[in-house]
Amino acid sequence: MIETATKLKHLREKIQDPEFQQSRGLSNEVSYYILAFDPQDQPLVTEEVSRMERQFNRDTVGVDIVEFNLYQIMWELLADMGIQDDVLAMEESDGIDYLTEQLNNALEMTSLNNPFITYMQSRIPNDQTIVFVTGIGEIFPLIRAHKVLNTMHQVITNVPVIFFYPGVYDSLSLTMFGESKEDNYYRAFQLN
């Protein structure tokens, strides 16, 4: 298994490649990438994502990096809906499985226009943007990575998307934290 630091170094190099920035060279596939990493390396990933944002958004590389933290987005969406406190009470009274079902319904996770996707799409400034998606580990099992990715790849198609995943991705399936298998997802390239 390739170490997280090596994957992050390769990502940094890839971001500087004009072919990558313009989503070329992928046989007309939507340019989605998953950088799976050992969950213990989350502090390293968080630090490096922040460092890349600061560096590339200020340098003359010609791209902007926009990070979307799914955990933060979820709480903002729930607050906007006025149900943030209800969610906390529901977990306590009805359990995590019921809460997960209700959250997925409220956030319309199977809809192409679900609030997560609409939120992200409206905040991508231009076609010279690279999207970083973080925070999926913090909202698991409430929201699953494959649900976000399955709708995202149909709507956000003109910019490269890097999905930071604390677990294992084998180009076919996702396994959160290396222990909890999700539904298959095969539309993204591995970043090694």
The pLDDT assigned to 11 comes to 95
> Which segment, 29-38, 55-64, 67-76, 79-88, is predicted with the most confidence on average?
67-76
For residue 40, pLDDT over 80 is answered with: yes
d(CA 87, CA 56): 37
User: Cβ contacts of residue 48 below 8 Å, gap of 6+?
Assistant: 8, 12
- The answer to whether 186 touches 172, Cβ cutoff 8 Å, is yes
DSSP secondary structure letters along 34-54: EEEE-GGGHHHHHHHHHHHHH
Distances (CA, A) of 7 to 42, 49, 66, 119, 162: 13, 12, 19, 28, 12
The amino acid at residue 11 is L
Q: How confident is the model at residue 67 (pLDDT cuts 50, 70, 90)?
A: very high
d(CA 40, CA 168): 13
For residue 24, pLDDT over 60 is answered with: no
Q: Is 22 exposed, middle or buried (0-12, 13-18, 19+ CB in 10 A)?
A: middle
For residue range 131-161, what is the model confidence (pLDDT) as tens digits?
999 999 999 999 988 889 888 888 888 899 9
Token representation of residue 160: 């490269």
Q: Give helix 70-81 / helix 84-94 axis angle, nearest 10°.
A: 100
For residue range 80-114, what is the model confidence (pLDDT) as tens digits?
999 988 888 888 899 999 999 999 999 999 898 89
The pLDDT assigned to 183 comes to 67
The amino acid at residue 42 is Q
**Mean pLDDT taken over the chain:** 88
Considering only residues 62 and 121, tell me which one the structure prediction assigns the higher pLDDT: 121
User: Cβ contacts of residue 8 below 8 Å, gap of 6+?
Assistant: 35, 44, 45, 48
Token representation of residue 86: 């209800």
The pLDDT assigned to 153 comes to 84
pTM: 0.91
The pLDDT assigned to 154 comes to 83
Considering only residues 185 and 74, tell me which one the structure prediction assigns the higher pLDDT: 74
